[in-house]
Structures are given as structure tokens and as C-alpha cells.
Amino acid sequence: MTTDHDPSRRTARSPGRTVRSHPYAGPHPATPLPSPGVAVAFAALPVLTIGALSFPVAAAVAFATLFGGVAGAALHRRYPDAVGRTLGLPDDASAGEA
């Protein structure tokens, strides 16, 4: 059985060759860890991304609630009994008899 390439290329045992790391290998265990600030920044990145992307939706819901409340209050002031006539809510006396 033959190998695809010279084993000395993988192990770099000959003096003229440089050590090549595996392309999918993680960091070497002896390398220092990042500082806590960098770790917190990387951990907060997905949260900040989702928050930034959901801001337009949250702003739209807040504006719709605010403007709906203002419009509802204006309509209620102009037509105070419109909800009762539109929904056909029973009176208090007839609700007890049913």
C-alpha cells in the first residue's frame, strides 16, 4: 500500500521543512486564551445582531400600539357608546337573567 504523499511532508522531520498545521485543527492547547473582555464581546455579538435585526419590528409594534391607543381614545371621546352598539354587548340587567 502506498501513501498519497511523502510522510516527511506531514511530519516535517527533515531539517529543511516547516511544520504545517492541519487546516481543520483548532488552536494549539499551549496558546493563551483570549482576554475576558474579548470573550464577552464575542458572546454578546449574536445577541446584539438579533437585537439590531428585530428593532424595526419592535418599533413598528410600539408605534402601532401608541397610535392605536390614541386613535381609540379619540374615537371613544367622539362616540362613547360605539363599542357597545357595534359588538352588541348585553346590558348588566339582561346578563344576570341569562
Distance CA 29, CA 12 (A): 20
Please provide residue 59's backbone torsions phi and psi, each rounded to the nearest 5 degrees: -65, -40
Percent of the chain with pLDDT over 90: 26
Q: Cα 14–6–28 angle (5° rounding)?
A: 65
User: Which residues contact residue 76 at a Cβ distance below 8 angstroms, ignoring those fewer than 6 apart?
Assistant: 82, 83
Residue 60 clears pLDDT 90, i.e. is over it = yes
CA 24 to chain centroid, in Å, comes to: 28
pLDDT at 71: 92
Q: How confident is the model at residue 84 (pLDDT cuts 50, 70, 90)?
A: confident
pLDDT tens readout for residues 11-52 = 545 555 566 667 777 777 787 878 889 989 999 999 999 988
Give whole-number Cα distances, 14 to 11, 18, 56, 57, in Å: 8, 9, 60, 61
Residue 66 has pLDDT above 90, yes or no: yes
